[in-house]
Amino acid sequence: MTVLRVVLGDQLSESISSLKDADKANDIILMAEVWDEATYVKHHKKKIAFLFSAMRHFAKELTQAGYRVHYTHFDDHNNRGSLRGEVEGCCELYNINKVVVTHPGEYRVLQDIQQWQQVLKLDVEIKDDLRFLCSQQEFARWAKQRSSLRMEYFYRDMRKKYFILMEGEQPVGGKWNYDAENRQPPKRDLFMPQPCITPLDPTTQDVIQLVAERFPNHFGDLMPFHFAVTREQALQVLQQFIEQRLCLFGDYQDAMLEGEPWMYHSHISFYLNCGLLQPMECIRAAEQAYYNREAPLNSVEGFIRQILGWREYVRGIYWLKMPEYAQQNFFNANRKLPQFYWDADTKMNCMRQCISDTKQNAYAHHIQRLMVLGNFALLAGLSPEQVNNWYLLVYADAYEWVELPNVTGMILFADGGYLASKPYAAGGSYINKMSDYCQHCDYKVTVKNGKSACPFNYLYWDFLARNRGKLASNHRLGMMYKTYDRMSDDKKREIELDAERFLNELR
Instruction: Give phi and psi for 102, each to the nearest 5.
Output: -80, 145
Q: How far is CA 228 from the centre of its chain?
A: 17
User: pTM for the whole thing?
Assistant: 0.96
CA 421 to chain centre: 20
φ, ψ of residue 320 in degrees (nearest 5): -75, -35
**pLDDT confidence of residue 181:** 85
Local structure of 99: helix, strand or coil: strand
291 with 224: CB under 8 angstroms?
Answer: no
pLDDT digits (tens, 9 = 90+) for 208-225: 999 999 999 999 999 999
Terminus-to-terminus CA distance in the chain, angstroms? Answer: 60
Q: What percent of the chain has pLDDT over 90?
A: 94
Q: Give the Cα separation of 132 and 148 in Å (integer).
A: 22
- The model's confidence at residue 189, banded by pLDDT at 50, 70 and 90, is confident
Dump pLDDT digits (tens) for 79-115: 999 999 999 999 999 999 999 999 999 999 999 999 9
- Determine the pLDDT at residue 433: 96
Question: In this predicted model, what pLDDT tens digit does every residue of 298-344 receive, in sequence order?
Answer: 999 999 999 999 999 999 999 999 999 999 999 999 999 999 999 99
Which pLDDT score is estimated for 478?
94
Torsion of CA 366, 368, 369, 372, to 10 degrees: 140
Residue 1 pLDDT grade (very low, low, confident, very high; cuts 50, 70, 90): confident
Could you tell me the pLDDT band of residue 186, with boundaries at 50, 70 and 90?
confident
CB < 8 Å & 24+ apart, contacts of 73-78: 73/33, 74/33, 74/34, 74/35, 74/38, 74/210, 74/214, 75/210, 75/214
Mean pLDDT of 53-76: 97
pLDDT at 407: 98
Q: What percentage of residues in the chain have a pLDDT greater than 70?
A: 100
Question: Which of 74-83, 143-152, 227-236, 283-292 is the least confident region?
Answer: 143-152
> How high is the pLDDT of residue 190?
80
Note the pLDDT of residue 378.
98
Q: Does pLDDT of 493 surpass 80? A: yes
Q: What's the full length of the chain, in residues?
A: 507
**How many Å apart are CA 408 and CA 382, to the nearest integer?**
11
CB 498 within 8 A of CB 452: no
Distance from C-alpha of 295 to C-alpha of 272, rounded to nearest angstrom:
22
| Sign for the pseudo-dihedral over CA of 275, 281, 287, 292 | negative
Q: Is the pLDDT of residue 180 over 90?
A: no
**Peptide bond between residue 423 and the one before it cis (omega within 30 degrees of 0):** no
Residue 374 sits at φ, ψ, to 5 deg, of: -75, -40
The whole-number pLDDT of residue 81 equals: 95
Burial call 413-435: b when 16+ CB within 10 Å, e when fewer: bbbebbbbeebebbbbebbbebb
Domains of the chain and any CATH numbers: 3-127 (3.40.50.620), 136-195+231-321 (1.25.40.80), 340-505 (1.10.579.10)
pLDDT at 48: 98
Band (191; pLDDT cuts 50, 70, 90):
confident
Mean pLDDT, rounded, of the chain: 96
Convert the pLDDT of each residue in 365-421 to its tens digit.
999 999 999 999 999 999 999 999 999 999 999 999 999 999 999 999 999 999 999
Contact 197, 204 (CB under 8 A): no
